[in-house]
Chains A and B, each alone.
Chain A
Amino acid sequence: MPEWQRSTLELIVEELQRPIRIDESFDRRVMVHVRRTYARRRRRGVAGLMASASRITHHPVWAAAVAAGIVAVATLGIVRGRQHAPVAEVGHEPVQFVLVAPTAKSVAVVGDFNDWGLNDSALVATNHEGVWSVTAPVPTGVHRYAYVVNGKDWVADPSAPRSAADDFGMPSSVLVVEGSTK
């Protein structure tokens, strides 16, 4: 290759490799779209479940639940089955707890509604390809709860508001259970 050709190419590349800066407002525009997508998913009850949301709807059990009219509590990202969930006592509403934990061996739900599982009343979740879920009747009102992963790791629900006062010094989340409007 003649010397002048090589140097021309080098000059071209050197020029094209100079950084091009995008205004920081670009980040805000992107995040507006991202937050809209996130909000839509929360309304569908799949916030924080991007990895498995599509798989849920393809699983026969989940597909039946979706077809049955699952309703999401938009402010919490908790899915509530109003019609086909386990029958709840009066003053209780069925609440579905969902956590993505692909590597977990077990997931349980503890909260003030089951005395934090202190008497072996922890709600044991079922694994759906890394998406752990359990549905249980919970009294109407405001509750604090958390997930216990592998029987020892206490984690707050990443898609729900954190509780200001964590029980036992452990992280926990806030759940608001409203009475049925039926």
Chain B
Amino acid sequence: MESSDADLVTRVLHGDVNAYGALVTRYRDRYARYAVHMLGNREDAEEALQDAFTRAYRSLARCEEPERFGAWLFRILVNRCRTSGARRVRRGQTFVHDEGALMNASQEHPAEQTMWREEIERALGELSADQREAFLLKYVEDLGYDEMSEITGVGVSALKMRVMRACDRLRTLLREVHSA
């Protein structure tokens, strides 16, 4: 039977470092999706994800609800993506479209599907970081506004506004592609 998050966290806190590997495997792919879409390229996404996992390990004792390790880790990842995005802006880089980030789509879907996905990624890159974050949390990660507020520290009303603007912007940007 698969160990629960709480069991694994307890084992790690008692010195079983290998138990952390099970947590990494459990959440790696699940959270990679958010990081890739948020940062727009696989390299930065993996860096942010790795950073989130190592920070979580160092701070594991402060995980007050071990049974909710995943949610706690995700909050760390959201913050790491924010930091990474801000750093990229300071370096003068823009949202990067990366073929690597689309690797799975390329392997599993026909060409037009890949093109559609590329357009979506480009459109996401056109959003402000705040709007992109709110949109991904709401629609892709399927979180409620209260959870989003808890994770981001932003009020529910502001989040709703960001999501609405993100949706409008995406519709505008993708209208032609979709109707073509």
Contact = CB atoms under 8 A, between A and B. Distances in A.
A5 B29 contact: no
A9 B171 contact: yes
Contact of A158 (B15, B101, B108, B167): B15
Contacts of A35: 17
A100 interface: yes
Instruction: Count chain A CB atoms within 10 A of each CB in B101, B171, B179 and give the residue with the most.
Output: B171
A75 to B, nearest CB: 14
B54 A30 contact: yes
B91 interface: no
Contacts of A11: 116, 178
Instruction: Count chain B CB atoms within 10 A of each CB in A19, A26, A29 and give the residue with the most.
Output: A26
Contacts of A54: 61
A18 interface: yes
A11 B179 CA distance: 12
Given A18-B105, A30-B24, A30-B50, A8 B29 contact: no
B132 to A, nearest CB: 11
A7 to B, nearest CB: 8
Interface in B149-163: none
Interface in A2-34: 4-5, 8-9, 11-13, 15-22, 26-27, 29-31, 33-34
A21 B32 contact: yes
Given A12-B170, A27-B24, A37 B58 contact: yes
Interface in B39-80: 46, 49-50, 53-54, 57-58, 60-61
Contact of B50 (A5, A13, A18, A33): A33
Contacts of A158: 14-16
B174 A12 contact: yes
A138 interface: no
Contacts of A53: 61
A77 interface: yes
A159 to B, nearest CB: 4
A77 B24 CA distance: 25
Interface of A: 4-5, 8-9, 11-13, 15-22, 26-27, 29-31, 33-35, 37-38, 47-48, 50-54, 77, 100, 158-159
Interface of B: 12-17, 20-21, 24-25, 28-29, 32-33, 36-37, 46, 49-50, 53-54, 57-58, 60-61, 101, 104-105, 108, 113, 116-117, 120, 124, 136, 139-140, 167, 170-171, 174-175, 178-179
